[in-house]
Amino acid sequence: MSPFELKDELIKLASGSENRLMLNAGRGNPNFLATLPRRAFFRLGLFATAEAELSYSYMPHGVGGLPQIDGIEARFERFTSEHRDQPGVLFLAKCLSYVRDQLGLPASAFLHEMVEGILGVNYPVPPRMLRVSEQVVREYIVKEMIGGFIPAGTVDLFAVEGGTAAMTYIFHSLQQNGLLKRGDKVAIGMPAFTPYIEIPELEEFGLDQVHIDADPHANWQYPDAELEKLKDPAIKIFFCINPSNPASVKMDDRSLETVARIVSESRPDLFILTDDVYGTFADDFRSLFAICPRNTMLVYSFSKYFGATGWRLGVIAAHKDSVFDKALEALPDETKASLSRRYGTLLPDVKSLKFIDRIVADSRTVALNHTAGLSTPQQVQMVLFSLFALMDESDGYKTELKKLVRRREAALYRELGVAPEHDLNAVEYYTLLDLEELARKIHGDDFAAWVKAKFSSGDLLFRIAKETGIVLLPGKGFGTKQPAARVSLANLNEYEYASIGRSLRAMADQYYEEFKESKEGTQSSPKKAT
């Protein structure tokens, strides 16, 4: 079973006693969130509703009309001035100033797009992403994921319903356009988020997996020997999570440079797909998109950093001059003819249709392309999240979140009685408890060997759930080769992680007593007569 289905069984066990609190450390959903851009969203909604009522002010019974762009800046400035004492309003005023004065975008067009967007009165136009919204969010993606290493204007975005929708759409379009076929090889950076291991195995894809294994003894970095596998021309795509899940470390500079060298010297045709959702929790993060922009399709979700899993906000980013488009040009004439029939209702010259725009069309079975796209209120919240981060020049919000998860990690390991390993590339959104190594650090090599021989990692997780009420996810479900448990450091409070650490330590001590008794029993048992 997938660890995400297994967790339901663990929760049942952990919830079995009325005398204790069940602690679910298996969920990646954070218990923190960005409040200011949410306040701004609701305040903006009030202004937008007033704009709608202004259009049809002569009609009673709550009827409004489409907001007008003429004079919208003056009306907005009056609104922010009259309500500046209300939380979120001053932030909205600063957003308009930043968009106009720092990003150089037309203020009236931005305001009108936000007002229409939050009211949800039109289909998303363009369906890939609202025009001004794309420019704002692109600045955020370039700043946070790419580090400003490439011009923002060279990046196209498609706003989608979170990172999972992005992956679904991308794999579907790769298949529909003949860029991935049954039996093709896909390289996956391991360990990995379990669904990403399962997608290529589905009947409709039938892809052959090549694992690029991170080394747990090298702080979960990919050895050069593993990355060298990407030189195999049969591998069509390298699929990875950076920073990783569940190991929660970013790719170091050596790994990034190795991939860049392989692409430059051996694999200029390699597709790279990177999920960078945890990048904002890392120090000095750089995506693979920063070093191999033409080869890379970047997926980013706003869910973890802004505490917005329920909003379903994500983007797909592609370079305007990508190898995905080059691969479309190189397809056989027969395949091109088939694709011309598939997309022919969208435009006369199908060969000019970019791969990212094909993803948009395929997300609505092509025929419904005109109704594609993320809902406009969702796009507005995405814009406000982006502006919140862009205007936070001191990175105050980011610093607080990093301190938050690191304090939780410290509390967990402190009560375990084990010092966490400090690594500059660690993100600490999750932590992997290597069960054998943990036993060794607590009570020595012999105890660790006994634990490994006596229990499987699955046994231990079920015992932990039943005996302590703690839910952890199995590392092997994510592709780790050693028995391990993934602990999310995002969804509980600090004292609860301390409680988890104490409970796990008490359980380890209890098993150590059992180990000592078994050892003493073995030593004292008489030898059999020969």
pLDDT at residue 237 is higher than 80: yes
The mean pLDDT of 239-267, rounded to a whole number, is 97
Tokens of 307: 């505490």
pLDDT at residue 273 is higher than 80: yes
Under the banding of pLDDT at 50, 70 and 90, the label for residue 526 is: low
Q: What SS3 string covers 163-219?
A: HHHHHHHHHHHHHHCCCCCCCCEEEEEECCCHHHHHHHHCCCCCCEEEEEECEHHHC
Q: In the chain, what are the domains?
A: 3-28+395-519 (3.90.1150.10), 35-119 (1.10.20.110), 132-369 (3.40.640.10)
Under the banding of pLDDT at 50, 70 and 90, the label for residue 30 is: very high
Distance (Å, whole) CA 151 – CA 228 = 30
Q: Of the candidates 280, 253, 504, which has an alpha carbon nearest to the alpha carbon of residue 392?
A: 280
Which residues are within 8 A (CB) of 202 and not within 5 positions of it... i.e. 6 or more apart? Answer: none
Q: How much of the chain, in percent, has pLDDT values that exceed 70? A: 97
Which residues are within 8 A (CB) of 106 and not within 5 positions of it... i.e. 6 or more apart? Answer: 100, 132
Distance (Å, whole) CA 211 – CA 191 = 9
Helices marked H in 279-395 — which ranges? 288-291, 323-329, 333-343, 355-362, 376-391
- pLDDT tens-digit map of 186-236: 999 999 988 899 999 999 999 999 999 999 999 999 999 999 999 999 999
CB atoms within 10 A of CB 366: 17
> What was the pLDDT predicted at 529?
44
Highest mean pLDDT among 52-66, 247-261, 516-530: 247-261
CA-based max dimension of the chain: 108
Under the banding of pLDDT at 50, 70 and 90, the label for residue 172 is: very high
Tokens of 138: 């692109």
Q: How much of the chain, in percent, has pLDDT values that exceed 90? A: 80
